[in-house]
Structure formats: C-alpha cells, structure tokens
Amino acid sequence: MTETFWSDAERHLVRYIGASSFVPEIIERAEGSFVHTADGRRLLDFTSGQMSAILGHSHPAVVDTVQRQVATLDHIFSGMLSRPVVDLARRLAESLPEPLSKVLLLTTGAESNEAALRMAKLVTGRHEVIAFARSWHGMTQAAATATYSSGRKGYGPAAPGNFAIPTPDAYRPDFTTPDGELDWRRQLDYSFQLFDAQSVGSLAACIVEPILSSGGVIDLPPGYLAELRDRVHARGGLLILDEAQTGLCRTGDWYAFQRDGVVPDILTLSKTLGAGLPLAAVVTSPEIEQAAHDRGFLFFTTHVSDPLVAAVGNTVLDVLTAERLDVRAGELGAYLRKGLLELAEKHPVIGDVRGRGLLVGLELVTDRETRVPADELGAAVTRRCLELGLHMNVVQLPGMGGVFRIAPPLTATPAELDLGLEILDEAISSV
C-alpha cells in the first residue's frame, strides 16, 4: 500500500514546492502537538502544520464547532450573511485598537493580501507598492508581485510599480553604526532614496510583516515600523501589515504591531485565525472602507463570509481568551529561547537565535565570526530531525545560512518543547 501511495502521488500530483520535495511520510492523523504516520511513527510538529495550528491539531473545541456547524450551516450565497460572520467581525474589531473596525472575511493569506492591496489602490487612486526584499505575501497576482523571497523567475513580467526595499536584518546588517550594529535609519534613508528615484509619484501601499517568517524570522527593530509608516504616509500611501503568522497571540501579544504602538491602515490575518482551517480577514478603518465602497470596491469570492469557518474563528478567539494563550506564548517562548541559547553554547554552528514568543528563528552557519552560510548543514539537520521524530522547517535564501522557523502550537507543553530541543541537539551532533 505504501508503494502504491507514492507511485500514485508521483503519477498524479502536481509538484508545487519549487525545487523541494514532499516530506517522505504518509500522514494518517494529527492530535495536539503531534502528527502520526502510516507506519506508526509519531512526529513532534514544530511548525504548527503550515504555521497555522496555534491550538494544536484536532483541538476538542474546534472539532465540536466543526461538527455542529457543518450540520446546520456550512456555506451560503456570498451575498448572504450569518450570525457567525457578524459575531467574528465584531469580536475581531473589539480585539483591535481604533480605528480598525471594518472586517472582510476570506480564506487564505494570499487572498487577504490581494484584497488589501486592491483596496489600497482603489482608495488612493494609485498603483505603486513597496515590500521587503525577503517578503512572502502569497501566490495570487498582487500578493505574488509583492513577494521577493522566492518564486519570481519564469512567469513573465511582474506588474509595474512594485518595489523591493532592503530587509532590516540585525544579524547580517548592510548599514552599520560605528559599533557594528544595524543602522536601520540609514538603511531606510537609502531605501526611500532608491524608491523616490524610481517612483512616478503614485505610492498606494507598503505591505510588510512585523516579523518576516519566510524571510528568515527577521524581527523589525523597535522604532522601525513607526518610521516606515511615516515615510509611507508622507508619500500618500497606506501601511498594510500582514500578520498571517504573528497575529493572535503567537508573539506574546495579541498582535505583533502592539509592541511598537503602530496601528496599520489595513491589517491582514489568516493562518492563525482559523487555527489550521482556511480563514482569513482584512481589517481596516470606517474611513477607508467608506472610500472603497464609494468607489465600488469588489471582492466577491465563492467563500467570502462563509459561516462554517467563521464559527471556527469565534471558537479560536474563545480558546485564546479563556486559556490566556498570549501570556502562555510569552512564557513558553522564553522557555524555548533559553533552551535554544543553551544549545548555541554547545554547538558553534548555531549562529543566531531570534524572534518573539513562539515564533523563533535559529540560524546555522559554518563560522560564527564570518557568519558564512551553512545551507547544506540546514538541510541535513532537517532530515535527521525527521528521522528522530521532529518535523522542522528550514528557510534557505541566498546569502543566509539555514534558518529554522520554530513555531510549535501555543498549547504545547514544556515537556514537548524539551523533547524538541533534545532531538534538535542530537540531530546537530550527529550531522
């Protein structure tokens, strides 16, 4: 049966992961912090599925909601409304600072970013978009055009008016202070000098993640986001924050932007909102929503405002609130970070540990002084972790080492984090 499975997969599936291959395991079920394979192995999931299952797999409250909701109201005409949709919109607004109070419920992160960019262009009457050079915002047209970390070659010309600016990477700084630290203010000066030289004066939006995940878990320096917002606003654009992975308690705050006190013009949520189910949101101000409506904003999709996943979103908010998972993410994140720093003392190939809460990056290098990337080592450690029972995700971008994105469920236990650290320690040692 296993041989048939893989032969069928090879014969019938479109390969969609670029040059990478599928994980060589048949997954039968998942529960809590673990996924279980067809041959009886149990894998500790340090990526929360696709960085989404913040409540772990098959959380009882989510299972109960899905079973109840699918039996009563699952999907309706996109122009109709249901109570779960309006309830979720209200509750999201209540969790956010003013003026973020108008909500559009969709399915994926790419779709929410697509809608946000479409809205920004319509409201401003402009078309230019700024994003980071290591960004990942999705695979639909506008989202993909604002994605620079990978996947750009071979698909023809990108839409005009899209610009990449340098990513503020404190571990590999391009602009430095006299003491060798990242000088992000000089970097921002340079970024907007380049943009202004190329712009036709039509900036619609700047879209960024507060912590770049696929870009190598790069946390924006304190103060950077406010300065970026001011420069974008000065040029007539809107600030869009993509909190697909950082929103809803993962970083120790309900939203990552709260650390900086910067309220975006448009916020996008996805992965964590559905805790693994396809649910996303665009949140903006009444002023922007009114301007978009007056101009005939259209984003009418098959699954906009679907009641089934909206009900799940309400359950996710219930669990996050009742179990105070923002606090738990901060505490577990500190515990995980401490364990990773202890591994760094033991293994010279660990060059950097960074991130916030339960979104942590661990970068491998061949030399700590020169910070020479260790691409092959990252891939080898990933394979060895899988053999030992730990699923890890490694990001490999040009000029960087292998960066592990470590994002266990917010419901993980200290014992499960210890197990992951133990396996990672053994994998690095053996490789």
Residue 271 annotated among the catalytic residues of the structure: yes
List phi, psi (to 5°) of 288: -70, -40
CA atoms within 13 A on the CB side of 182: 19
Beta bridge partners of 364: 350, 402
| Residue of 128, 169, 183, 209 with catalytic role | 209
169-207 per-residue burial string, b: 16 or more CB within 10 A, e: under 16: bebbbebeeeeeebbbeebbeebbeebeeebeeebbbbb
Joined together, the tokens standing for residue 145 give 């055009």
Beta bridge partners of 177: none
Beta-carbon contacts of residue 146 (< 8 Å; ≥ 6 apart): 113, 117, 129, 131, 135, 137, 162, 207
| Residue of 126, 337, 356, 405 with catalytic role | 405
The answer to whether 36 touches 384, Cβ cutoff 8 Å, is no
Beta bridge partners of 372: 367
| Residue of 45, 128, 169, 242 with catalytic role | 242
| Residue of 128, 245, 250, 306 with catalytic role | 245
Query: Which element (helix H / strand E) includes 354?
Result: strand 350-356
| Residue of 136, 243, 254, 356 with catalytic role | 136
What gap in Å lies between CA 213 and CA 134, rounded to an integer? Answer: 9
Beta bridge partners of 280: 106
Residue 153 annotated among the catalytic residues of the structure: no
Residue 337 annotated among the catalytic residues of the structure: no
The amino acid sitting at 205 is A
Rg of the chain over Cα atoms, rounded to whole angstroms, equals 21
What gap in Å lies between CA 131 and CA 120, rounded to an integer? Answer: 14
Residue 405 annotated among the catalytic residues of the structure: yes
What gap in Å lies between CA 105 and CA 276, rounded to an integer? Answer: 15
What gap in Å lies between CA 304 and CA 336, rounded to an integer? Answer: 37
Residue 209 annotated among the catalytic residues of the structure: yes
What gap in Å lies between CA 233 and CA 239, rounded to an integer? Answer: 8
Hey, which residues are catalytic here? 136, 209, 242, 245, 271, 405
